[in-house]
Amino acid sequence: MNGGGPTIIGPLPAKTSLQVNGRQLDFVAEPATTLLEALREQCDVTGPKEVCDRAACGGCTVLLDERPVASCMMLALDATDRKITTVEGIGSVDAPDPLQMAMAEFDAMQCGFCTPGVVTAAKALLIQNPRPNLDEIRAALSGNLCRCGTYPNIFNAVLVASGQEPVEEPTDRGRSASGERA
Amino acid sequence: MNPFAYTSPRNTTDASALAVPNGDFALPVLKSGGMDLLDRMKEGLERPDLVVDLTRIDDPTLDAIDAGRIGGRVTLAMVAESEELRKSAPILGAASGSAATPQVRNVATVAGNLLQETRCWYWRMSQFDCLRKTGDDCPAREGDHRFHVIFQDGPCLMVHPSNLAPALFVLDGEVEVVGGDRTRIPIRDLYADPAVDWRSASVLSPAEIITGIRFKSAPNSAFIALKQKQSFDWPMVSGYAVLDLDGDVIKSARTCAGAVAPRPHPLPQVDAALAGLSIHDEARIRAACEISVDGADPLPGTAYKMTLLPVAIRRAVAAAAHSAGTARGGDA
Ligand SMILES: Cc1cc2nc3c(=O)[nH]c(=O)nc-3n(C[C@H](O)[C@H](O)[C@H](O)COP(=O)(O)OP(=O)(O)OC[C@H]3O[C@@H](n4cnc5c(N)ncnc54)[C@H](O)[C@@H]3O)c2cc1C
Ligand code: SF4
Ligand code: FES
Ligand code: FES
């Protein structure tokens, strides 16, 4: 404390609490800890991935009060009074979300490193907009890079998870999702 | 990031006081969304000993949107989604919705957007010194400056990174501030003259906090970004236009260019040439927009922007004339 003014936390490690996937997680960390570091290293919630560490890929996407954010570019202390959802909070191996089933069905991943972020961002879209069209899906996922280029399959998985027909989406190379020339 | 202390004041008076270097903390810094600040801290460009968090200030006006005002803490996502703004000044939603990614827009604030630092990659890397830091030279001049200026308004060749600032230029915007001896700053005075001061991100003192922006309504207004990538990236060149129409005739116009100069670059000569033209007179509108490059002195690596700028301005004028063309995003 500092006179009667606002509480000053740190710079030494201090007790921190996060609400992650409906559970309160308490740990001790320096204020310089990002939300991503806190989740992965203090809370053992390793779905969000560190890739660029600069809000430039979407691999670390989590939901903050139902909106996707880059957890690498936010301090854990910034998120203490917010509801955090990671891919672990969306479904489980035993009870996957329909979106996760559709991702598997459409083979919407190759290396899988972007997948937790993609599923989390797509889930946020479906909460807001249960039947998004292809443009809306593309826009909602425009903050998630997939270096394996699985985008057409991801888009189809989101369409099917929202009860719609998959499309034969031509890729940038002029091929459709099924590999035929468009 | 270096170790630092963290505090969340509940009112702007406390926040202003904490933001001024004092006995306890010599290097305090204000943080809104942190999208720019954390980037600089991770690179070691900024080593604060106290981060003053503005996200928990107890003041709903910071989060409010109405037809002529946006609170300083409103996110770019909220600006892009606002129906109210789509009617009163669609240029603001288009410029906000085109920036960065959904993940960034959900956190990045209006105030932070106006005050974000340059994207010049020499400046962003701690291993380079330059004129804008403590040095005497600009490595971009002889180096890779493909995203830098065509208007050399000062010795630093950076372009202003904010999508929102030029929109406020054409809307005659003002910034609301607290913590100093003024309460409003016209947007055209928020940034220092780059010929005189090429190091400051704005004219604000450390204690001054942006609490909102005010602007004139402009239903016929549009933003166009010409980008290498449709997501994640800042524009190569952007065009901004506000039209005052009498039927199909442009009574008056205000245009501005982004990503071509150290500050947003207003184009009064284009505005004068557009006045009195019919919105259907494509040839003369094209000619008016061609003179947007008047006075430019491009670098070898930015000569391509001489071709892009008139296109960005022309597309912005066309979109502003047909307000249907001011769709969210504004990417061309
Ligand atoms: C991948 C990526 C792409 C991007 N693309 C674009 C783009 O295309 N166009 C664009 O415009 N931007 C773009 N951005 C930048 C982004 O929009 C800005 O970083 C963001 O708007 C900054 O807002 P913030 O609230 O996070 O600010 P912060 O990072 O919190 O603060 C930025 C600066 O402003 C100061 N500050 C913050 N709030 C206040 C206040 N209320 N009063 C006084 N000082 C204050 C801080 O001290 C700091 O120096 C991009 C960012 C990323 C990561
Ligand atoms: S353009 Fe400006 S910021 Fe970039 S290296 Fe030159 S002086 Fe530094
Ligand atoms: S790791 Fe956070 S966006 Fe890339
Ligand atoms: S599956 Fe490999 S990055 Fe997307």
pLDDT of residue A170: 46
CB–CB contact A55 B51 (8 Å): no
The pLDDT value recorded for residue B327 is: 44
Q: A–B: how many Cβ contacts below 8 A?
A: 106
- d(C-alpha A30, C-alpha A12), whole Å: 6
Of A81, A87, A94, A7, nearest to A39 by C-alpha is A87
Q: What are phi and psi of A136, to 5 degrees?
A: -65, -35
**Does the pLDDT at position B233 exceed 50?**
yes
Q: In DSSP terms, which residues pair with B6 in a beta bridge?
A: A9, B51
Subunit contact A7:B8, Cβ cutoff 8 A: yes
> Domains along chain A?
14-89 (3.10.20.30), 91-182 (1.10.150.120)
Q: B103, B106, B233: best mutation site toward chain A, by most A Cβ within 10 Å?
A: B103
Distance in angstroms (rounded) separating the CA atoms of residues B56 and B76: 18
Cβ within 8 Å, pair A32-B9: no
Query: Is B132 among the domain residues?
Result: no
Residues 6+ apart with CB under 8 A from B211: B12, B59, B61, B62, B71, B72, B111, B176, B177, B178
Model pLDDT for residues A20-63, shown as the tens digit of each residue: 999 999 999 999 999 999 999 999 999 999 999 999 999 999 99
Domain membership of residue B202 as a residue range:
60-117+158-214
Tell me which chain A residue has its CA closest to the CA of residue B230: A142
Band of the pLDDT at A4, cuts 50, 70, 90? Answer: low
Say yes or no: B320 and B184 in one domain. Answer: no
Given a cut of 60, whether residue B198 has pLDDT beyond it is: yes
Q: Which residue of A has its CA nearest to B52?
A: A8
Judge whether B51 and B133 are in contact, CB under 8 Å.
Answer: no
Name residues whose C-beta falls within 8 Å of residue A132's C-beta, 6 or more positions apart in sequence: A125, A126, A140, A158, A162
Ligand having the closest approach to the CA of A114 = 4
Note whether A11 contacts B102, CB cutoff 8 Å.
Answer: no
Taking the CB of residue B153, how many other CB atoms lie within 10 A of it?
18
Same domain assignment for residues B5 and B111: no
User: Which residue, B38, B57, B76, sits at the end of a domain?
Assistant: B57
Q: For ligand 1, what atom is nearest to the CA of residue B162?
A: 11
Query: How many residues in total does chain B contain?
Result: 332
Best mutation target among A50, A78, A81 (most B Cβ atoms within 10 Å) is: A78
pLDDT tens sequence across B286-325: 999 999 999 999 999 999 999 999 999 999 999 999 874 4
Residue B182 resides in a domain: yes
Burial class (CB in 10 A: 0-12, 13-18, 19+), B290: middle
Q: Is the CB of A62 under 6 A from ligand 3?
A: no
Altogether, the residues listed in chain A come to a count of 182
Counted domains in chain B? 3
Same domain for B290 and B233: yes
Q: What percent of chain B has pLDDT over 90?
A: 96
Q: Smallest CA–CA separation between B103 and chain A, in Å?
A: 4
B28-31, strands of its sheet edge to edge: A8-9, B5-7, B50-53, B28-31
Q: Cα separation of B120 and B107, whole Å?
A: 23
- CA distance linking residue A9 with residue A73, whole number of Å: 19
Residue A26, SS3 per DSSP: strand
What CATH number is associated with residue B317?
3.30.390.50
